[in-house]
Structure 1
Amino acid sequence: MEVIGTRARKLPAPPHVVWRSLAVPDEPRARPWLAPALLADEVVPQVLEADEPRGLVWSTLWPHRPDDRILLETGAAPGGDTRLRFTHLTPHPLPPEATVGHLRRRVNHLLFADLRFSYGG
């Protein structure tokens, strides 16, 4: 598998809360954060593997890239927060650099802006 992008950042919520937000991103009892933020060419991913509370694997966000996977790893961070790492993987050769940049930015924005802001911080 080729790595399209990877990044780790801290989120202001405990690991079990972040894990649940990733496993059920638009849960009716919670503030929806993923579907409202998707672009026209993106879809809500399916959870392909789950290892609560350590991580999960999402299917692709992009129907035109059906074999891509997004590995999401959660762990404790100081102050009760969560350290979240995403790794976007593909079994194919890497796309052009402009496409790689777009895919990285989108996953980064969805997780470290839209998800982060859903926790109020």
Structure 2
Amino acid sequence: MPEIASRSRTQPPPPRIVYEALTKPDRDPTRPWLILHNDEQRPSIPEAADPNLVVWTSIWLWRPDARIRFGIIGPPHGSTTLSWTLIVDELVPDGETIVRMRNESTNSSTRTCASRSVNSHPIKDPSSTPVERSPFRHRTP
């Protein structure tokens, strides 16, 4: 399966928090962060290795073969380097589609993993007003 895009970003929380947020996006119903748009679907997790790897199935209804592989690296109590790689089946999309998927993946992982506002992603429903959410609020056991 060809890798068609990838990015990395440092996140403040430790790897276990990032892993938990990626594998359990609904863990805190008072702080939803996985904001899906009309042309996106909730991913499932076909592969995971705690706390270093999470693979999501496609978020795109129109490209169900795509996968987003998240690599999670960092010390147990320090910040995390989160990388994502977009993987598709052998029929590699054209350049314009790759740019679209890369940008939507970046925005999806930003919605997922950064403390940035989800407003960086175009909103399909103008009546909805997203608020800034971070899935990485530290929890005390």
Which residue identity is paired with 1:33? W
> What's 1:102 paired with?
100
Report the Cα offset of residue 53 of structure 1: 0.3
Structure 1 stretch 20-29 or stretch 45-54: which is displaced more?
20-29
Superposition pairs of residues 23-38 of structure 1, within 5 angstroms: 23-28=23-28, 31-34=31-34, 36=35, 38=36
- Is the contact between residue 19 and residue 52 of structure 2 (CA under 8 Å) also seen in structure 1? yes
Cα deviation, 1:67-92, whole Å, max 9, x if unaligned, reads 11111110106x81110110110113
> What's 2:55 paired with?
57
Q: Which runs of 5+ in 1 are unaligned?
A: none
3-state SS of paired residue (1:65): coil
Q: Which runs of 5+ in 2 are unaligned?
A: 116-133
State the distance in 2 between where 1:83 and 1:6 align. 13
Q: Report the CA distance shift for 1:48/1:30 in structure 2 as closer, same or farther (over 3 A).
A: farther
- Is the contact between residue 22 and residue 112 of structure 2 (CA under 8 Å) also seen in structure 1? no
3-state SS of paired residue (1:87): strand
> What's 1:11 paired with?
11
> What's 2:131 paired with?
none
3-state SS of paired residue (2:37): coil
Structure 1 stretch 19-28 or stretch 43-52: which is displaced more?
19-28
Which residue identity is paired with 2:52? R
Which residue identity is paired with 1:58? W
Q: Percent identity between the aligned chains?
A: 32
Aligned partner of 1:111 among 98, 109, 112: 109
How many residues align structurally?
Answer: 117
- Is the contact between residue 5 and residue 89 of structure 1 (CA under 8 Å) also seen in structure 2? yes
Greater percentage in helix: 1
TM-score calculated relative to the size of structure 1: 0.86
Structure index of larger Rg: 2
